[in-house]
């Protein structure tokens, strides 16, 4: 049964790592990725160099064994020639024995040489594969390095966009002071007064407005003039009556 504490710890660390990745600076992560790619390429190159070096080492050993093979063959042939030319049977036997010793050494060298040749064939194949891997790693590293400038530019753009978004959020969070009138409120009051005045003027013109007042005033003036004439007529009539009444009183 799985340990719940171990499982919880792994979950917590995974969540912690995820939060670190989310909040990490992209430029720092780009630099870390570049360093990681360079380190990996260096390791591949070192491993390839080691494999190629092993092949070269085998080639050096093979060359030495080939030289030894030639020397032993020459010594064996020389010993046999001397044994054939020797007139003394004892010397002939000694030369033959020497030839056998050298021949045994020659056989050992040739056996070792065959083993090294087998190893060299495998090393040759491994070296070619290591070269391809190293070349692919180098090409991949160059491609990644060419993308660094583009990624850095994109990181700058993303940072600027985030700052712009934060600035807009900050502006949206700002609330106007209730004790200070806003331009929108002042504009609304001005527009209301202006439209109210336009409405009153339109209504005034629709109902006659000043023309009605002029007509009413003209009617009043006409009535006043007529009334004034009537009063004058009454006064004149009274004046005519009054002298006649004085004469009547005199005759009586």
CATH number of 47's domain = 1.10.287
Same-domain check for residues 123 and 34: yes
pTM of the predicted model as reported, rounded to 2 decimal places = 0.49
**Which residue do the tokens 């891997």 mark?**
133
pLDDT, position 73: 93
Helix (H, G, I), strand (E, B) or coil at 249: helix
Spatial distance between the Cα atoms of 67 and 64, rounded to a whole number of angstroms: 5
Same-domain check for residues 39 and 98: yes
Same-domain check for residues 53 and 134: yes
Same-domain check for residues 67 and 126: yes
Q: How far apart are the first and last CA of the chain?
A: 157
Q: How many CB atoms lie within 10 A of CB 83?
A: 17
User: Tens place of pLDDT for every residue, the chain, 252 residues?
Assistant: 556 656 665 655 565 455 555 556 777 887 888 888 889 999 999 999 999 999 999 999 999 999 999 999 999 999 999 999 988 899 999 999 999 999 999 999 999 999 999 999 999 999 999 999 999 999 988 888 888 878 878 877 877 777 777 777 665 665 656 666 777 777 788 888 878 887 777 776 666 555 556 656 666 666 767 767 777 787 887 777 655 544 444 444
Does 178 map to a domain?
no
Q: How many CB atoms lie within 10 A of CB 222?
A: 10
Enumerate residues 6+ apart whose C-beta is below 8 A from 76. Answer: 99, 102, 103, 106
Determine the structural domain holding residue 54 and report its residue range. 25-154
Q: Are 109 and 65 in contact (CB under 8 A)?
A: yes
Q: Helices 26-85 and 89-173 sit at what angle, rounded to 10 degrees? A: 170
Spatial distance between the Cα atoms of 189 and 197, rounded to a whole number of angstroms: 12
Does 221 map to a domain?
yes
Triad 14, 16, 21: Cα angle to 5°: 95
pLDDT, position 236: 80
Cα pseudo-dihedral 123, 124, 125, 129, rounded to 10: 100
Same-domain check for residues 36 and 132: yes
Structurally, the chain folds into a number of domains equal to: 2
pLDDT, position 185: 75
Same-domain check for residues 121 and 188: no
Q: Are 85 and 69 in contact (CB under 8 A)?
A: no
pLDDT, position 252: 43
């Amino acid at each position: 049964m799985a340990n719940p504490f171990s499982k919880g710890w792994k979950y917590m660390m995974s969540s912690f790592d995820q939060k670190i990745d989310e909040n990490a600076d992209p430029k720092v992560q780009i630099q870390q990725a570049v360093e990681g790619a360079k380190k990996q390429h260096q390791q591949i190159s070192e491993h390839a160099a080691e494999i190629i070096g092993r092949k070269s080492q085998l080639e050096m050993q093979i060359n030495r064994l080939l030289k030894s093979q030639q020397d032993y063959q020459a010594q064996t042939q020389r010993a046999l020639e001397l044994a054939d030319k020797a007139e003394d049977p004892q010397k002939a036997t000694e030369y033959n024995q020497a030839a056998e010793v050298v021949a045994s050494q020659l056989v050992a060298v040739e056996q070792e040489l065959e083993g090294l040749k087998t190893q060299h064939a495998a090393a040759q194949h491994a070296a070619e594969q290591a070269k391809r891997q190293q070349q692919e790693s180098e090409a991949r590293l160059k491609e990644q390095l060419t993308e660094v400038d583009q990624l850095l530019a994109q990181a700058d753009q993303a940072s600027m966009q985030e700052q712009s978004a934060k600035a807009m959020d900050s502006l949206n969070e700002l609330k106007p002071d209730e004790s200070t009138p806003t331009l929108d409120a002042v504009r609304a009051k001005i527009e209301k007064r202006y439209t109210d005045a336009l409405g009153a003027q339109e209504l005034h013109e629709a109902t006659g407005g000043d023309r009605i007042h002029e007509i009413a005033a003209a009617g009043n003036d006409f009535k006043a003039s007529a009334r004034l004439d009537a009063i004058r007529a009454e006064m004149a009539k009274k004046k005519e009556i009054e002298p006649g009444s004085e004469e009547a009183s005199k005759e009586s």
